Amino acid sequence: MRRGNDGATPSSWMPPNYTKARTGTVDYERLDGRVVVDVKLGAQGIRDLHGGLMQLALLLHEKPNVERACLVIRFPRMTLDSARDAWKRATELLRPDIANRLAVVLVMPDEKELWLDPKSDPIVEEIAHAVSNALRDSSTAERTSFEISRKFFEIWKVLLEAWLSRGDALRVKDLVAMVGCSIPTVMHGIDLLARRGELSGERERGKFALRSFPRQTFEQGAGLADTFRRTLWFADTSGRPEPVALMRRIQRAKPVGIALGGVVGARHLDPHFDLHGTPRIDITLWVPDGSMPNLQFIKNIDPALQQTDSKDTAVLAVHQLSRAVTLFHENPDGSVPFADPVEILLDLYELGFREQFADLIRTLRQEKPV
Amino acid sequence: MNENVDPQLVLQLVANHVPPELHQNILLVGSLAAAYHYRAERANQPVRTKDADVIVQPAGAFHECIQIAQRLLDLDWRPTEKRRCRPFPFDNPMSELDVIRLHPPQTDLYFIELLGLPLPEQREPKLEVAVQLRDGYYMIPCFKFMAVLQSNQQTSSVGLQYASPALMALANLLHHPTLGTAFIADTAVLRSSKDLGRVLALAFLTPSDKLFQWHEMWWSALQHHFLNEAKDLAAQVGYGVVALLNDAAALRDAYDNATSGLLSGKNVTQDQFRVAGARLLTDVVRELHDLAGVSSR
């Protein structure tokens, strides 16, 4: 279920005659509106199955023109027999004119096996085929060495941003949209965080949030951050390195797709941020398709900047962000936006400002109303 | 050969040697003024010049030029010898007339060179005006773009006025929209190379927070002194530097001049010098073009 680089919606893994649903109650619908599909790959138990089924049943009741409503559901911790029995018992309770229009595609934890009901319906087979293809694609490309992969890193950063800002727990589809990856990829990430005990109890309701600051993953992620963020370092060749002047040059040039992070970003988040001076400017560069960025804008900021392998001599660090949604904090005055707090924390950590890093986490968590 | 002099000392001497009632007509320009302004950035390094360029104010004040020169001669100031300064019996041909360069009575440490301030109607980049002193005719050069030096004048600790480095840079940039073909006398060095190198040296010495203000000063001065031409002149600014940066030989000459002058003792490399030029284009010239509503080519 890879998401296209062209910014296509997740419906791109569905057959071409499907699109994102116009109503919020289901995920996808056939272009003629006669088939709807709801996807719940983050289901935890029978309750999720019942909830999904009832939602589709109500829709079928209200929309007699819909001839098929299909639930695609994945249970990471249920056997096929249990899931199949639960589905059958539930549908037996429904009126025949509703139950006969319902369908299910059960995705089992190993994702090798799908169970369909009804089995011989071409519509359901088409949907199951799309699900199967998407799972196979993602399994080869994304599941290999998934632990602390770049995609996982992005999923985790989005969850951490929500935790720092005391935002709502996130649904799988939220994470899919924000990170720009497939549903299975998100589920793998969720599973990994769950195994590490870093998720809160929100998980039971199909929403995911971090339990607390995920120290274990953070330290692993921070250690690999230069690689995952594909950080580029730039030195000042003028003979007079002045990060503050560089900051002003960035504000003047206002390159598209960048945000300020590092110490400058930390001061934005916390006006009492405890550090004298600005040793380096950190910016986050949005490269949503993950391609090699065009770095011409660097010379446009300051012709004195030259790429270097030595981070110790760098006055500018450019960290690349490849997820679908930037989470940049735009400034009303039109000046260069700020990166989200997680990028800023990673910058501080990389700079070695551990005390300030810890203080900023406390500040971010305390200043927001619970 | 020029010697190294302490710019602060020379300003003190000029203030002492020139009668106080003439101070109001005097505006110091050139490397001495720049070295004085940047004495902190240059760590009080001496500067290799003996030439105290003096513009006589106000604009078109040729009568005052004559009065000042005659008064100094009456006070035993002496025409320079190494740099020719002799009277000519006629007011033409202009090529025979010397610029007025005078040593003070008791020292050869410096000399002043008198320049005129152009009238607004001056069209020529350089106008040479013949003036008659008691012993004959001399010449006062008036550079059109030095008109901008009337703005933002600075006051030295000894009370003498000197030109703003930002506007000295602008005057040079306006005077050299291209490298041109004029050479410094008896050398193979382009005049533009030396003057534009001076601009880069000024930019290098200017702290960033000040450099970021140059474009506003430039645009304000252009509008004030060249109302109808301001936009066209703004559009030309910077292309001499572009040409300099693209001409290895001219850049080398510019670097050599700058590092033996204003940048002496700063250990500036040629790469850093080139970067100072490129930065001037992005930090100041591009901003000027934006302000003036002209596009950077």
pLDDT at site B291: 96
- The mean per-residue pLDDT over the stretch A24-31 comes to 84
Minimum CA–CA partner of B205 in chain A: A240
pLDDT at site B186: 85
Q: B68 pLDDT exceeds 70? A: yes
Asked if A238 has any chain B CB less than 8 Å from its own CB, the reply is yes
Q: Do A252 and B269 touch (CB under 8 A)?
A: no
Asked if A47 has any chain B CB less than 8 Å from its own CB, the reply is no
pLDDT at site A2: 29
pLDDT at site A253: 93
The owner of tokens 């049943």 is A57
- A156 touches A217 (CB < 8 A): yes
Q: Which residues contact A165 (CB under 8 A, 6 or more apart)?
A: A341, A364, A368
Query: Which residues in chain A have Cβ-Cβ distances shorter than 8 Å to B209?
Result: 245
Q: A175 pLDDT exceeds 90? A: yes
DSSP per residue, A50-94: HHHHHHHHHHHHH-TT--EEEEEEE-TT--HHHHHHHHHHHHHTS
Q: What is the pLDDT of residues B236-251, one digit of tens each?
A: 999 999 999 999 999 9
Query: Which residues in chain A have Cβ-Cβ distances shorter than 8 Å to B208?
Result: 240, 242, 244-245, 248
Q: Do B272 and A252 touch (CB under 8 A)?
A: no
Q: Which of A18, A29, A91 is nearest to A63 (CA)?
A: A29
* Secondary structure percentages of chain B, helix, strand, coil, to 5: 45, 15, 35
DSSP per residue, A90-145: HHHTS-HHHHTTEEEEEEPTTSS-EEEESTT-HHHHHHHHHHHHHHHHHHHHTSTT
DSSP per residue, A324-349: S----B--TT-SPPBPPHHHHHHHHH
Q: Which two tokens stand for residue A74?
A: 């994945």
Chains A & B: contacts with CB separation below 8 Å: 36
Q: How far is CA B262 from CA A320, B112, B201, B258, in A?
A: 42, 19, 6, 6
Asked if A251 has any chain B CB less than 8 Å from its own CB, the reply is no
Q: Do B278 and A248 touch (CB under 8 A)?
A: no
E-only strand ranges, chain B: 4-5, 26-29, 47-48, 51-56, 78-79, 101-103, 111-116, 126-133, 136-143, 154-155, 161-162
pLDDT band of A338, cuts 50, 70, 90: very high
Least confident of A59-73, A112-126, A331-345, B166-180: A112-126
Instruction: Provide the shortest C-alpha distance from residue A353 to chain B (in Å).
Output: 27
Beta-carbon-side half-sphere exposure of residue B181 (alpha carbons within 13 Å): 0
Query: Which residues in chain B have Cβ-Cβ distances shorter than 8 Å to A248?
Result: 208, 212
Minimum CA–CA partner of A249 in chain B: B283
Q: How far is CA B178 from CA A5, B47, B110, B190, B243, in A?
A: 47, 27, 32, 11, 7
pLDDT at site A217: 81
Instruction: Provide the shortest C-alpha distance from residue A236 to chain B (in Å).
Output: 10
Q: Do B212 and A248 touch (CB under 8 A)?
A: yes
Q: Do B279 and A302 touch (CB under 8 A)?
A: yes
Q: Do B282 and A302 touch (CB under 8 A)?
A: yes
Does residue A254 come out as left (phi exceeding 0), alpha (psi in the -120 to 50 range) or beta?
left
Q: What is the pLDDT of residues A252-298, one digit of tens each?
A: 999 999 999 999 999 999 999 989 999 999 999 999 877 788 899 99
Instruction: Provide the shortest C-alpha distance from residue B161 to chain A (in Å).
Output: 30
Please tell me which of the candidates A238, A245, A252 has its beta carbon nearest to residue B276. A238
Instruction: Provide the shortest C-alpha distance from residue B51 to chain A (in Å).
Output: 30
Q: Which residues sit opposite A6 in a β-bridge?
A: none
pLDDT at site A11: 47
Q: How far is CA B238 from CA A140, B248, B279, B283, in A?
A: 56, 17, 11, 11
Q: Which two tokens stand for residue B195?
A: 């003057």
pLDDT band of A76, cuts 50, 70, 90: low
Query: Which residues in chain B have Cβ-Cβ distances shorter than 8 Å to A245?
Result: 208-209, 212
Percent of chain A with pLDDT over 90: 49
Query: Which residues in chain A have Cβ-Cβ distances shorter than 8 Å to B271?
Result: 237
Q: Do A303 and B272 touch (CB under 8 A)?
A: no
Q: B261 pLDDT exceeds 80? A: yes
Q: Which two tokens stand for residue B98?
A: 């010397």
pLDDT at site B40: 86
Rounded Cα gap, residues A193 and A208, in angstroms: 10
Query: Which residues in chain A have Cβ-Cβ distances shorter than 8 Å to B272?
Result: 237-239
**Which of residues A224 and B14 earns the better pLDDT score?**
B14
pLDDT at site B259: 95
Minimum CA–CA partner of A241 in chain B: B208
Q: Is B79 helix (H, G, I), strand (E, B) or coil?
A: strand
Rounded to the nearest 5°, which phi and psi values hold at B147?
-55, -35
Q: What is the pLDDT of residues A189-216, one digit of tens each?
A: 888 888 888 888 655 667 899 988 888 7
- B210 touches B167 (CB < 8 A): no
pLDDT at site B265: 87
Instruction: Provide the shortest C-alpha distance from residue A244 to chain B (in Å).
Output: 9
Q: How far is CA A2 from CA A130, A154, A286, A331, B163, in A?
A: 12, 15, 19, 33, 65
Residues 65-94 of B with CB under 8 A from A: none
Q: Do B282 and A300 touch (CB under 8 A)?
A: yes
The owner of tokens 């880069």 is B200
Q: Which two tokens stand for residue B16?
A: 């002492």
pLDDT band of B97, cuts 50, 70, 90: very high
Minimum CA–CA partner of A239 in chain B: B272
Residue A1 is which amino acid? Answer: M
Query: Which residues in chain B have Cβ-Cβ distances shorter than 8 Å to A237?
Result: 271-272, 275
pLDDT band of A332, cuts 50, 70, 90: confident
| Helix A341-351 × helix A262-269 angle, to 10° | 130
Q: B139 pLDDT exceeds 90? A: yes
Q: A8 pLDDT exceeds 60? A: no
Please tell me which of the candidates A237, A244, A300 has its beta carbon nearest to residue B272. A237
Q: A112 pLDDT exceeds 80? A: no
E strand or H helix at B294: none
pLDDT band of A370, cuts 50, 70, 90: very low
- B291 touches B231 (CB < 8 A): no
Asked if B268 has any chain A CB less than 8 Å from its own CB, the reply is yes
- The mean per-residue pLDDT over the stretch A7-27 comes to 68
pLDDT band of A141, cuts 50, 70, 90: very low
**Which of residues B46 and B8 earns the better pLDDT score?**
B8
- The mean per-residue pLDDT over the stretch A238-264 comes to 94
Beta-carbon-side half-sphere exposure of residue B53 (alpha carbons within 13 Å): 21
Q: Do B279 and A300 touch (CB under 8 A)?
A: no
Chosen for mutation from B259, B280, B283 (greatest number of chain A CBs closer than 10 Å) is B283
pLDDT at site B135: 92
Asked if B272 has any chain A CB less than 8 Å from its own CB, the reply is yes
**Prediction pTM value:** 0.75
Q: A360 pLDDT exceeds 70? A: yes
Asked if A55 has any chain B CB less than 8 Å from its own CB, the reply is no
pLDDT at site A142: 44
pLDDT at site B45: 81
Please tell me which of the candidates B208, B272, B275 has its beta carbon nearest to residue A242. B208
Q: B87 pLDDT exceeds 60? A: yes
Percent of chain A with pLDDT over 70: 88
Q: What is the pLDDT of residues B164-223, one digit of tens each?
A: 999 999 999 999 999 999 999 889 999 999 999 999 999 999 999 999 999 999 999 999
Q: A174 pLDDT exceeds 80? A: yes
Asked if A121 has any chain B CB less than 8 Å from its own CB, the reply is no
Q: Which residues contact A82 (CB under 8 A, 6 or more apart)?
A: none
pLDDT at site B26: 94
pLDDT band of A228, cuts 50, 70, 90: confident
Q: What is the pLDDT of residues B218-238, one digit of tens each?
A: 999 999 999 999 999 999 999
pLDDT at site A202: 59
Q: Which two tokens stand for residue A261?
A: 């992070």
**Could you tell me whether strands B161-162 and B154-155 are parallel, antiparallel, or unpaired per DSSP bridges?**
antiparallel
Question: Mean pLDDT over all residues of chain A?
Answer: 85
Q: Do A245 and B208 touch (CB under 8 A)?
A: yes
Q: B79 pLDDT exceeds 70? A: yes
Minimum CA–CA partner of B272 in chain A: A238
Percent of chain B with pLDDT over 70: 98
- ipTM of this predicted structure: 0.86
Q: Which of B149, B153, B129, B148 is nearest to B140 (CA)?
A: B129
Rounded Cα gap, residues B116 and B144, in angstroms: 10
Rounded Cα gap, residues A210 and B255, in angstroms: 59
Q: Do B272 and A239 touch (CB under 8 A)?
A: yes
pLDDT at site A21: 79
pLDDT band of A78, cuts 50, 70, 90: confident
Q: Do B279 and A304 touch (CB under 8 A)?
A: yes
Angle at B116 between CA B110 and CA B119, to 5 degrees: 160
Residues 100-139 of B with CB under 8 A from A: none
- B276 touches B261 (CB < 8 A): no
